[in-house]
Amino acid sequence: MPAELNWHELMPFTHLLVHNLHYIALAFMVVAYTIKIWSILKKPAAREGTPAKGDHKKAIQYSFLLLARPDEMESTRKQWYRWIEFAVFHVAMAVGIAVAFTMPWAHEAMKGSFIVYFQQGIFGIAALIGISRLVRRITRADMRAISTPDDYFCLILLTLWMGSGVMNAPQTSEFWLLSYFSMATFFLFYVPFSKISHYICWPFMRYYMGKHFGHRGVYPKKRIAGA
Amino acid sequence: MAMSEKAKEFNQLFKERLNRQHVLSLTACAHCGMCNDSCHYFLADNDPKMTPAAKADSIRGIYKGHYDWLGKIVPFWVGSRQVKTDEDLERLKDVVFGSCTGCRRCTINCPFGVDMAGIVSLTRSCLVDVEVAPEGVLTVMKDQWETGNQMAVSKEDYLETLEWLEEEVQMELDDADFKVPIDKEGSDFVFVINPREVKYAPLSLQAAFKIFHVAGLDWTMPSEGWDNTNFGLFSGKADLGGHMGNLAYNHAKQLGVNRMVISECGHGFLSTKWEAPNWGKANPLPFEMISILELMVDLINTGTIILDPKKNPLPVTYHDPCNLSRSSGLTEEPRFCLKRSCLDFREMIPNRADSYCCTGGGGAMSMAEYAKKRLSVAKKKADQIRETGAAIVTTACHNCVDGLSDLIKHYDLKYEINGKSMWLPVKNVCELVADAIVIPMELPKRKPRVKEIVKPVKVLVIDDQPDIVDYLEALLQDNGYEVITAHDGDEGIEKAKADRPDLITLDVSMPGKSGVTVFHELRNTPTFEDIPIFIVTGVVDFRQLMYQKTVEAPEGFMQKPINPEVFLMTVDRLTDRTRQKVAVEESGKPA
């Protein structure tokens, strides 16, 4: 029987991290993101004044839903395994963040074996994906050419975070709790400055892309009868 | 290191011109590499610097240097960089002009939709304003500002060409009633075209005129504002883009037309229909704008024209121009037309929005300094074409016609017909539609028109290949021309001096004095100024004569292998003025 983590006897720093610092970091991230979005939105958007050929609404929907349609883009159609990697990795990140904010107050409920195995499964796969992405980034010349130190750093840290998530899930050691939460807290402070903040741009990008291509009748892709 | 004046200005312009979509494209990239395999520059030889993300990083780094929080403090960490010297600007020029055609294939394959064409256009506009841009681009921009068209065709030459084409269509249809209406007020539509059609490649115009006439349409050519091409798009300069658009829109407004029909030109359609109304603040316009492809679909659908696909029996494939397929949604219309005009239509794989660039987009045809690279990265497109086994390549863009013609020769794409191996011809869609059109019974009953050559005009053929010289000599003599021949540049210049020809056909690649040198010598000799020069060549170097224009551009060009029909049409067009002059001198009546 493995030892159980006693949440009432955490070291002072662990307690501060899990119950206070963690939320301060979240607040910091929200403020930083707000500033970032504001700095993007303060730039004037290019607008279309011509009569529309297509349907903006449908095209915007299509643009967003492409995320879930790997068959619609050549890049994901040909590299379907990378789309699966992307999907699992990002779901694992979302689960990781959810765990970081639910565990401090719902740790008892999260000791159930299904929840533990689920966390370990998804974090474990994500860690393996992280390693494979890192290997690809290091071994392929085209990936090295587009990689900055920030790219490597984020990938290594996220992979380690996922690994610590696997170890932390059964709540057996304060060391893994500390590892998991210190990395999560660091991310909350660091993310707005790093490439990981790309997801903040995604909805705006897909909106404008859908609107632009919809206006010009490119999206959604269509066929005319007899062609 | 102190910042150069040009770099200072560039940085200032870059910051001023950023819009929200640019900022998003410059911020969002996660360096996932999903776009890498979408770019023909990368796929050609897997050069890691040629992936879209790597090229975008050259621009993204500048943005990060100005705006990114970490980029300003620890530049190396996020790849931010500064443009400080003129050399930095030159390097950037090689990326945005020499390594990207703005085809947007990476954009549609990016999980975010990073608009590479948008950020490349932004950077081009700033570089153009500090005069760090390919000579050809700057020259064509100047021509568009000064003459209202990209090939500096004078109004007189333009109208004369239309008149000459009118005669050609009359001859083809055996119908003297055919007229090319000019500035006909209240017409249903005005037809705006690519100057290449007027100056060098009139077959597509002839085809369009034939279709309009057989369909009995109410149309007109404009005497001004007829150029649908727009180097505002290639240079990123919205002021030029707006100016070119407004020339066409204002004239169409004066004519009171219902529609503007845009000829087969990818960037011409994109800029005239979608971009220029925004650049020139011309919205709303009182007429509709459509592509000739859409018009032809309508004519076929309504039975206004009847097509007989048996008239085009050879296998045909279609190349999707990027600006039509990825940026304007015109993917099905050309297929609709071709499937009804040809017996054997074969798809290129991949196609439609996934099609690879012809490699001549983004103004690349006017950038002689990048011609070698352009051809080296065209391998993917060449492989695509080869795999179709087609005998004819069609496309709906004149830039693509040039780009594809160059790569077909470079990669030696041939088709065997009647035991003869020929380079694949590249045609516009309307040419195949016009070839397949069934002429209604009543048309031949109209007044027939026969063109006569009053007195032989003299043509000097300069080419180092004896079989080409013999062939052209026989072809011209059979059609009533007097022919003088020369087998190298020096002999050509001597014979031009001695015999004063009415036209010179000139090969570019010759041992000793090259065709380019001969061309410059002829142009710089005052006594030869008025002799038209027709470049007939198998190499791509001649494009610098067309675009950089250190001297006046050649009046005609065609690529080998020689299509006798097109060759004779061009000779006829270029000597038309001489014939008319002779006719007036001899009988007092124009020919």
Same domain, B235 and B349: yes
What is the pLDDT, as a whole number, of residue B569?
84
Residues of chain A in contact with residue B274, where contact means CB-CB under 8 angstroms, are: 48, 50, 216
3-class DSSP assignment, residue B419: coil
Q: Using 50, 70 and 90 to split pLDDT, how confident is the model at B522?
A: confident
Same domain, B405 and B488: no
CB atoms B20 and A49 under 8 Å? no
3-class DSSP assignment, residue B198: helix
Host H or E run for residue B557: strand B556-559
Lookup: tokens for B84: 């400080």
Percentage of chain B surpassing pLDDT 70? 94
Residue in chain A nearest B294 by alpha carbon:
A224
Q: How far is B436 from chain A (nearest CA, A)?
A: 17
Which comes out higher in pLDDT, residue A222 or B5? B5
C-alpha–C-alpha distance, residues B281 and B245, integer Å: 10
Residue in chain A nearest B58 by alpha carbon:
A146
Lookup: tokens for B488: 């190298």
Measured CA to CA in angstroms, residue B538 lies from A91, B376, B408, B475 at distances of: 56, 17, 11, 19
Q: Which of B18, B25, B26, B27 to mutate to test the interface with A (most CBs of A within 10 A)?
A: B27
C-alpha–C-alpha distance, residues A182 and A2, integer Å: 23
pLDDT tens, position by position, B380-392: 999 999 999 999 9
C-beta atoms surrounding A35 within 10 Å: 12
DSSP B84-127: -SHHHHHHHHHHHTTS-----HHHHTSSS---HHHHHHHHHHHH
C-beta atoms surrounding B287 within 10 Å: 17
What is the pLDDT, as a whole number, of residue A180?
97
Q: Cis bond leading into A220, ω under 30°?
A: yes
Lookup: tokens for A28: 């910091």
What is the pLDDT, as a whole number, of residue B591?
44
Amino acid at B487: H
What integer is the mean pLDDT of B396-418? 94
Residues of chain B in contact with residue A45, where contact means CB-CB under 8 angstroms, are: 19-21
- Note whether B219 and B187 are within 8 A (CB): yes
Q: Please report the residues numbered 98 through 127 in chain A whose beta carbons come closer than 8 angstroms to any beta carbon of chain B.
A: none
Buried b (16+ CB within 10 A) or exposed e, B395-410: bbbbbbbbbbbbbbbb
User: Quick check: A53 contacting B, CB < 8 Å?
Assistant: yes
- Note whether B268 and B234 are within 8 A (CB): no
Same domain, B440 and B462: no
Residues of chain A in contact with residue B281, where contact means CB-CB under 8 angstroms, are: 49
Residue in chain B nearest A200 by alpha carbon:
B28
**Nearest Cα residue to B551 out of B577, B576, B516, B514:** B516
The pLDDT mean for chain B works out to 92
Contacts of B89 (CB under 8 A, 6+ apart): B4, B6, B7, B10, B83, B127, B130, B132
Specify if B572 maps to a domain: yes
* Domain coverage including residue B26: 5-133
Choose among B107, B281, B336: nearest Cβ to A224.
B336
Same domain, B439 and B308: yes
pLDDT tens, position by position, B117-163: 999 999 999 999 999 999 999 999 999 999 999 999 999 999 999 99
pLDDT tens, position by position, B170-226: 999 988 889 999 999 999 999 999 999 999 889 999 999 999 999 999 999 999 999
CB atoms B24 and A224 under 8 Å? no
Q: What is the 8-class DSSP label of residue B255?
A: H
CB atoms A143 and B33 under 8 Å? yes
- CATH number of the domain enclosing B56: 1.10.1060
C-alpha–C-alpha distance, residues B409 and B420, integer Å: 16
Residues of chain A in contact with residue B38, where contact means CB-CB under 8 angstroms, are: 74-75
Q: Using 50, 70 and 90 to split pLDDT, how confident is the model at B564?
A: confident
- CATH number of the domain enclosing B558: 3.40.50.2300
C-alpha–C-alpha distance, residues B258 and B187, integer Å: 7
Same domain, B172 and B100: no
Beta bridge partners, B191, equal: B261
Tokens 């060098």 -> residue: B200
- Note whether A100 and A106 are within 8 A (CB): no
Same domain, B422 and B476: no
pLDDT tens, position by position, A126-169: 999 999 999 999 999 999 999 999 999 999 999 999 999 999 99
Same domain, B445 and B484: no
Residues of chain A in contact with residue B354, where contact means CB-CB under 8 angstroms, are: 74
Q: Which of A28, A29, A50 to mutate to test the interface with B (most CBs of B within 10 A)?
A: A50
Q: How far is B39 from chain A (nearest CA, A)?
A: 11
Last residue of a domain, one of B417, B449, B481: B449
Last residue of a domain, one of B449, B479, B505: B449
C-alpha–C-alpha distance, residues B173 and A45, integer Å: 52
From B30-39, B229-238, B333-342, B449-458, the region with the lowest mean pLDDT = B449-458
Same domain, B473 and B424: no
**Nearest Cα residue to B150 out of B190, B191, B196:** B196
- Note whether B361 and B403 are within 8 A (CB): yes
Contacts of B493 (CB under 8 A, 6+ apart): B518, B521, B522
Beta bridge partners, B420, equal: B417
CB atoms A39 and B42 under 8 Å? no
What is the pLDDT, as a whole number, of residue A120?
98
Q: Please report the residues numbered 161 through 190 in chain A whose beta carbons come closer than 8 angstroms to any beta carbon of chain B.
A: none
Q: Please report the residues numbered 63 through 92 in chain A whose beta carbons come closer than 8 angstroms to any beta carbon of chain B.
A: 63, 67, 73-76, 78-79, 82, 86
Residues of chain B in contact with residue A212, where contact means CB-CB under 8 angstroms, are: 21
Last residue of a domain, one of B133, B160, B176: B133
**Nearest Cα residue to B541 out of B564, B563, B517:** B517
Same domain, B300 and B399: yes
Q: What is the 8-class DSSP label of residue B456?
A: P
Measured CA to CA in angstroms, residue B267 lies from A221, B332, B352, B427 at distances of: 20, 18, 16, 17
C-alpha–C-alpha distance, residues B460 and B571, integer Å: 11
DSSP B464-485: S-HHHHHHHHHHHHHTT-EEEE
Residues of chain A in contact with residue B76, where contact means CB-CB under 8 angstroms, are: 148-149
Is residue A1 pLDDT above 70, yes or no?
Answer: no
From A186-190, B21-25, B494-498, the region with the lowest mean pLDDT = B494-498
Instruction: Give chain B's radius of gyration (CA, Å).
Output: 24
Query: A1-10, B497-506, B532-541 — which one is most confidently predicted on average?
Result: B497-506
Specify if B143 maps to a domain: no
3-class DSSP assignment, residue B58: helix
- Note whether B150 and B140 are within 8 A (CB): yes
Q: Which of B16, B18, B32, B57 to mutate to test the interface with A (most CBs of A within 10 A)?
A: B32
Measured CA to CA in angstroms, residue A95 lies from A143, B486, B539 at distances of: 27, 79, 60
DSSP strand pairing (B420-423 vs B414-417): antiparallel
Percentage of chain B surpassing pLDDT 90? 74
Phi, psi (rounded to 5 degrees) for B459: -120, 130
Same domain, B405 and B513: no
C-alpha–C-alpha distance, residues B247 and B282, integer Å: 11
Tokens 């056909």 -> residue: B505
Sign of CA pseudo-dihedral A207, A213, A215, A217: negative
CB atoms A43 and B329 under 8 Å? no
pLDDT tens, position by position, B293-329: 999 999 999 999 999 999 999 999 999 999 999 999 9
Tokens 């003299």 -> residue: B458
Percentage of chain A surpassing pLDDT 70? 96
pLDDT tens, position by position, A69-94: 999 999 999 999 999 999 999 999 99
Same domain, B383 and B291: yes
Specify if B138 maps to a domain: no
Specify if B140 maps to a domain: no
Residues of chain A in contact with residue B53, where contact means CB-CB under 8 angstroms, are: 146
CB atoms B24 and A201 under 8 Å? yes
DSSP A85-125: HHHHHHHHHHHHHHHHHHHHHHTTGGGSHHHHHHHHHHHHH
| Chain A to chain B Cβ contacts (< 8 Å) | 165
C-alpha–C-alpha distance, residues B420 and B435, integer Å: 22
ipTM, interface predicted TM-score of the complex: 0.95
Q: Using 50, 70 and 90 to split pLDDT, how confident is the model at B528?
A: confident
Q: Please report the residues numbered 14 through 33 in chain A whose beta carbons come closer than 8 angstroms to any beta carbon of chain B.
A: none
What is the pLDDT, as a whole number, of residue B583?
63
Residues of chain B in contact with residue A139, where contact means CB-CB under 8 angstroms, are: none
pLDDT tens, position by position, A15-63: 999 999 999 999 999 999 999 999 999 999 999 999 999 999 999 999 9
Phi, psi (rounded to 5 degrees) for A195: -70, -15
Is residue B58 pLDDT above 50, yes or no?
Answer: yes
3-class DSSP assignment, residue B2: coil
- Note whether B96 and B120 are within 8 A (CB): yes
What is the pLDDT, as a whole number, of residue B271?
97
What is the pLDDT, as a whole number, of residue A226?
54
Q: Using 50, 70 and 90 to split pLDDT, how confident is the model at A184?
A: very high
What is the pLDDT, as a whole number, of residue A2?
60
Phi, psi (rounded to 5 degrees) for B318: -125, 130
Residues of chain A in contact with residue B111, where contact means CB-CB under 8 angstroms, are: 67, 73, 75-76, 86
* Tally of structural domains, chain B: 3
Q: Using 50, 70 and 90 to split pLDDT, how confident is the model at B67?
A: very high
Specify if B139 maps to a domain: no
CB atoms A146 and B354 under 8 Å? no
Is residue B28 pLDDT above 80, yes or no?
Answer: yes
CB atoms B31 and A204 under 8 Å? no
What integer is the mean pLDDT of B2-10? 96
Q: What angle do the packed helices B135-147 and B116-129 form, to 10 degrees?
A: 80
Same domain, B244 and B283: yes
DSSP strand pairing (B426-428 vs B392-395): parallel
CB atoms A202 and B112 under 8 Å? yes
pLDDT tens, position by position, B157-179: 999 999 999 999 999 998 888 99
Choose among B34, B326, B332: nearest Cβ to A223.
B332
Specify if B142 maps to a domain: no
